[in-house]
């Protein structure tokens, strides 16, 4: 049974070789599909699950979800269907791969650690999405209305929804979890397939590389949590300020900060999108973890973080275009503070637009 799930590899390098870890399993995958046919005498979803390569069975799930989210968004006119799954699916896929390691009685310390970290990532993101009203009936990300306006025809809207929103994003949420798929195969490697002395002589030992990357992922989670909380605190204060007719300034805040319309304090004084930076860093480091453990400079798991970062680049560009049109000081904020990575000047110069303007006025007075 294990042969249908984990390949018999003769080398560590085979783990990152598509022809060894994916291609050999298509035949058995197609052969097993009748097990999912309710009208067939052989109908047995559980048998299909336990005898099918976990990456291919997960890919089948992405296709089902792509159809489901496309139909639901087409019926409701709401394009945020994948958004509601965004924080949940990666944890489910990593749990899926981890389950197979336990099912086959393989070493699981590395996979268990990654699973816990991804669950924490999921909890943080899901909670933040929930408290902002993301799961409320009819709720839709404000950026989708702008995307609709950029599409020239109804057919273009349907095509973008089908290919980019429903299909591509669902596949992407599986691609970013490919490091867990590699970890599963690493656990099944015979001792003879591991180079002498690699990872201290024991490929399944939770070594220095594992400690470094797991701690780095924890730091990304912590940074993301603080960035989310700082933004939440600001938006709550701003809402209270607006509801009071701009008469009451909540304790701990300055009137000019709230009138500005966007947060420029805390982590937001170093990065315009520290939460997005932490988000991307988490999955890039998970991928790099897989590179170190497979002794490769790069591997096909790079598709996940590569497209993940590309989506963040595109969505951030649109977000900032909207912000710059709403808030007069946002262009100055863009000049002073880096989009994701902090500018070196941020560590010794003020990144508060109001403070910067006051400093410039003082300089002018001195020169006069």
Q: Does the pTM of the predicted model rise above 0.85?
A: yes
pLDDT confidence of residue 240: 96
Residue with tokens 């997005």: 276
Write down the pLDDT at residue 191. Answer: 82
pLDDT score of 352:
54
**DSSP letters spanning 98-144:** HHHHHHTT---HHHHHHHHHHHHHHHHHHHHHHHTTTTSTT---THH
With a cut of 70, list the residues of the chain below it in pLDDT: 1-4, 8, 345-368
Question: In the prediction, which pLDDT does 199 show?
Answer: 80
Contact (CB, 8 A) for 85 and 65: yes
Separation between Cα atoms, residue 248 and residue 363, nearest integer Å: 33
pLDDT number for residue 2: 59
């Amino acid at each position: 049974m294990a042969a249908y799930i984990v390949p018999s590899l003769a080398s560590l390098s085979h783990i990152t070789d598509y022809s060894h870890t994916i291609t050999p399993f298509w035949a058995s995958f197609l052969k097993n599909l009748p097990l999912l046919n309710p009208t067939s005498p052989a109908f047995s979803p559980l048998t299909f699950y336990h005898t099918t390569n976990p990456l291919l069975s997960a890919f089948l799930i992405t296709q089902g979800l792509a159809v489901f989210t496309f139909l639901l968004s087409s019926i409701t006119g709401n394009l945020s269907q994948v958004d509601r799954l965004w924080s949940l699916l990666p944890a489910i896929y990593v749990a899926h791969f981890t389950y197979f390691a336990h099912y086959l009685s393989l070493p699981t310390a590395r996979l268990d650690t990654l699973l816990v970290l991804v669950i924490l990532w999921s909890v943080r993101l899901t909670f933040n999405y929930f408290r902002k009203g993301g799961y409320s009936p009819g709720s839709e990300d404000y950026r989708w209305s702008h995307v609709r306006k950029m599409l020239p025809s109804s057919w273009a809207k349907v095509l973008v929804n089908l290919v980019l929103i429903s299909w591509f994003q669902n596949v992407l949420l599986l691609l970013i979890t490919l490091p867990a798929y590699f970890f599963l195969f690493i656990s099944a490697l015979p001792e003879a397939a591991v180079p002498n002395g690699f990872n201290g002589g024991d490929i399944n030992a939770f070594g220095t590389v594992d400690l470094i990357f797991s701690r780095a992922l924890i730091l990304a989670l912590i940074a993301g949590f603080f960035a989310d909380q700082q933004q939440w605190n600001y938006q709550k204060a701003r809402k209270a300020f607006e509801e009071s007719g701009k008469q009451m300034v909540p304790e701990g805040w300055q009137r000019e900060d709230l009138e500005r319309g966007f947060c420029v304090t805390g982590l937001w004084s170093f990065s315009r999108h520290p939460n997005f930076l932490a988000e991307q860093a988490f999955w890039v480091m998970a991928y790099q973890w897989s590179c170190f453990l497979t002794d490769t400079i790069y591997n096909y798991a790079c598709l996940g973080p590569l497209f993940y970062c590309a989506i963040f680049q595109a969505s951030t560009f649109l977000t900032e275009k909207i912000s710059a049109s709403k808030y007069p000081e946002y262009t100055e904020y863009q000049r002073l503070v880096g989009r994701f990575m902090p500018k070196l000047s941020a560590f010794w110069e003020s990144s508060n637009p109001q403070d910067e303007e006051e400093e410039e006025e003082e300089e002018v007075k001195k020169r006069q």
